[in-house]
Amino acid sequence: MSATQPPVNSPHIRRLAPVLEPGHSYATVTDKIASIVLTRPVSIGWLAGFGLAFSIVMVLNVAVAWLIIKGVGIWSINIPIGWGFAIVNFVWWIGIGHAGTLISAILFLLNQKWRTSINRFAEAMTLFAVACAGLFPLIHTGRPWMAYYMFPYPSTMEIWPQFRSPLIWDVFAVSTYGTVSALFWFVGLIPDLATLRDHAIGKPKQIIYGMLALGWRGSARHWHRYQSAYLLLAGLATPLVLSVHTVVSFDFSVAIVPGWHTTIFPPYFVAGAIYSGFAMVLTIAIPLRAAYGLEDFITMRHLENMAKVMLATGLIVAYGYFFEFFLSLYSGNKFDVFLVQQRLHGPYNYYYFALILCNIITPQLLWFQKVRTNVAALFVMSLVINLGMWLERFVIVVISLTRDFMPSAWGRYSATIWDYATFVGTLGLFTMLLFLFVRVLPAISIAEMRELVHQTSEEHE
Amino acid sequence: MIEHRSHTYGVLGEFDTEHQLCNAARAARQAGWVNIEGYTPFPVEALNDALGLKRNLVPLITLIGGLCGGLGGFFFQYWVNLYAYPMNVAGRPLNSWPAFIPVTFELTVLGASLSAVFGMLALNKLPEPYHPLFNVERFVKHATTDKFFLCIEARDKKFNVDDAKRFFEGVHATNISEVQDD
């Protein structure tokens, strides 16, 4: 070490917070995480949160039931705006799911240790978000009981799906994504379910966790194959997650509608998806670590890293907005130029300005370390970005559809109470599933935390 | 002795660290035992070498699953568009293969993922709710939590309870138990 370098413990060198607070052993991480599920009594806070979310799910039930009774006319969709909230919400939810897969698969391949304590609930978030997302196109078909028409099956009518259509690609992309996310999640859970089986008190819990654990016993040969399978799944999920939002963006960009027909959509949709997904991971992680005292495992390092990912993807999204704008003007296509004018001066321009404020201007605060390490500021920021990403999809869907080629085909769009009820209902469903998840399954991967204890103790030696 | 062996699954030794376990596994292999297995609360890569585990079949199964998914997906669309239900869309060729790629890709990933997971479970012979090792109380309490175990199995030709116990004493196992299968 040269003499000019400050000493290692100098207060001038900012040290990153550790990914795991020191002083933990295999047994303490196991007990701490497993006890949330196995021994901790149900708290008033959990009951209140679950009850509220459950009552919102009842709103969803009513909204969907009324939709099935009356038809999609209860929503404000009509010609020319056939898509409305349903598609805005679909794209928003599916985008949120993407951060879970990014954390569990891409950061795993990149060997990022900080993913370990957040991947489990991020994957759960993915599954629940995909469930909420899948609901929208299903009920938007108007006759959800006919949804199986979208799948290729040998029907007596001898017709087959149109495989050249992005909407059919979407069916395959989203259902594959849901299936692979569920597999990835379950494979990750198997060793933890075995831990829960071995620590559970009372026959019912032992039998349920025992059945789910499939008889896992940590055998070296099992681990050997398990690691191969897990690595392969991560490698498969990585291109999959990029393909899903690409296919979703094809739903727009294959159409010739102004503002949609652009090649920048796939990368810009994927970046936006990861952006909103990380915002949602923060929205969940911050209350979770406070409620269950998990600050040792979900440290400041995690929150700061997620903030950095949000900043980076936010800048990619900003670049996307800029080029969308620039290319429309540069193309000289009068419909595209007109659409830009409509975004700035049209009847929905306040949505556009709110979107720029939420997605581009506010996140610039993340350049400051003080903001990145302030839990309250991060929580507020994550909500703002979630809102901003929802507005982005609203702007894309509604402004383009209300202002296409012929003035005679223009229209206006304003959502009805049923649009809002369905959207808020899915927020309730998502929250309710998360509340259930933290009570019945380990929210942090126990086996991977033990591995992390092992790795960090080796580093200290 | 022979009657006794028929009820014994093996002899299990417990260790505090994965280094001790790896050393014990290596020593057991050198001593000539073949059917030995380590049990750890998290994957320990050094143990694969110590037990002499080389490649496994999961990647091959995944590759086959992915190829089946991809080729099946593509030629299914080909068959639908050329034979089952030819549809002329704006004069494009019936075999408009670039439009078939997204579904082909998704089905490749789906086939590969399903075969990776179910292939891994099948090779591991899971689900297997009962296993003789679950009769050992310390194994149940600690194998999935914080201790490392090595089992010398009774199906080994060289197996003998006393020899195995003496071996574990020699490598300083903190706990030694005979595993009963009943």
SS (H, E, C) chain A: CCCCCCCCCCCCCCCCCCCCCCCCCHHHHHHHHHHHHHCCCCCHHHHHHHHHHHHHHHHHHHHHHHHHHHCHHHCCCCCCCCCHHHHHHHHHHHHHHHHHHHHHHHHHHCCCHHHCCCHHHHHHHHHHHHHHHHHHHHHHCCCHHHHHHHCCCCCCCCCCCCCCCHHHHHHHHHHHHHHHHHHHHHHHHHHHHHHHHHHCCCHHHHHHHHHHHCCCCCEHHHHHHHHHHHHHHHHHHHHHHHHHHHHHHHHHHCCCCCCCCCCCHHHHHHHHHHHHHHHHHHHHHHHHHHHCCCCCCCCHHHHHHHHHHHHHHHHHHHHHHHHHHHHHHHHCCHHHHHHHHHHHHCCCHHHHHHHHHHHHHHHHHHHCHHHHCCHHHHHHHHHHHHHHHHHHHHHHHHHHHHCCCCHHHCCCCCCCHHHHHHHHHHHHHHHHHHHHHHHHCCCCCHHHHHHHHHHHHHHHC
Spell out the residues 6+ positions from residue B170 whose beta carbon is closer than 8 angstroms to its own.
B27
The residues near A408 (Cβ < 8 Å, ≥ 6 apart) are none
Residue A424 C-alpha from the chain's centroid = 17
What are the respective helix, strand and coil percentages of chain B, to the nearest 5? 55, 15, 35
Chain A neighbours among B 30-89 (CB < 8 Å)?
A: 37-44, 47-48, 51, 53, 56-59, 62, 66, 76-77, 80-81, 84-85, 87, 89
Asked if the Cβ–Cβ distance from A250 to B96 is below 8 Å, we say: no
- In angstroms, rounded to a whole number, what is the distance separating the alpha carbons of residues B181 and A237? 41
- Given a contact cutoff of 8 angstroms between Cβ atoms, the answer to whether B62 and B115 are in contact is yes
Read off the tokens for A246.
């690409």
Query: What is the distance between the alpha carbons of residues A166 and A284, in angstroms, rounded to a whole number?
Result: 32
Tell me if chain A has a CB within 8 Å of the CB of B123: yes
* Residues of chain A predicted below pLDDT 70: 1-15, 460-461
Put residue A214 in one of left, alpha, beta given phi > 0 → left and psi -120 to 50 → alpha: left
Query: What is the crossing angle of helices A84-101 and A375-394, to 10°?
Result: 140
- Kindly state the DSSP code that residue B97 receives in the 8-state scheme: G
* Placement of tokens 């949505």 in the chain: A351
Which pLDDT does position A14 carry in this prediction? 64
Please, which residues bridge with residue B153 across strands? Answer: B10
pTM for the model stands at: 0.92
CA distance B34 to chain A (A): 14
Condensed to tens digits (0 to 9), the pLDDT of residues B73-126 reads 999 999 999 999 998 888 889 999 999 999 999 999 999 999 999 999 999 998
Identify the pLDDT of residue B3.
52
**Average pLDDT score, chain B:** 91
Place of tokens 């038809």: A71
| B6 confidence band (pLDDT: 50, 70, 90) | low
Q: What is the pLDDT of residue A1?
A: 41
Q: Which helix (H) or strand (E) holds B180?
A: strand B175-180
Measured between CB atoms, which of A169, A199, A225 is closest to B123? A225
Q: Which residues pair with B161 in a beta bridge?
A: none
Between A and B, how many CB-CB pairs are < 8 A?
187
Angle (CA) A126-A169-A355 rounded to 5° is 55
B122 and A CB contact within 8 Å:
no
The answer to whether the CB atoms of B58 and A164 lie below 8 A apart is no
Q: Are A11 and A279 in contact (CB under 8 A)?
A: no
CB contact under 8 A, A223 and B43: yes
Inter-chain CB proximity B92 and A216 less than 8 Å: no
Alpha-carbon span B33 to B36, nearest angstrom = 7
Which residues in chain A (191-210) have CB-CB distances under 8 A to chain B?
191, 194-195, 197-199, 210
Contact A394, A423 (CB under 8 A): no
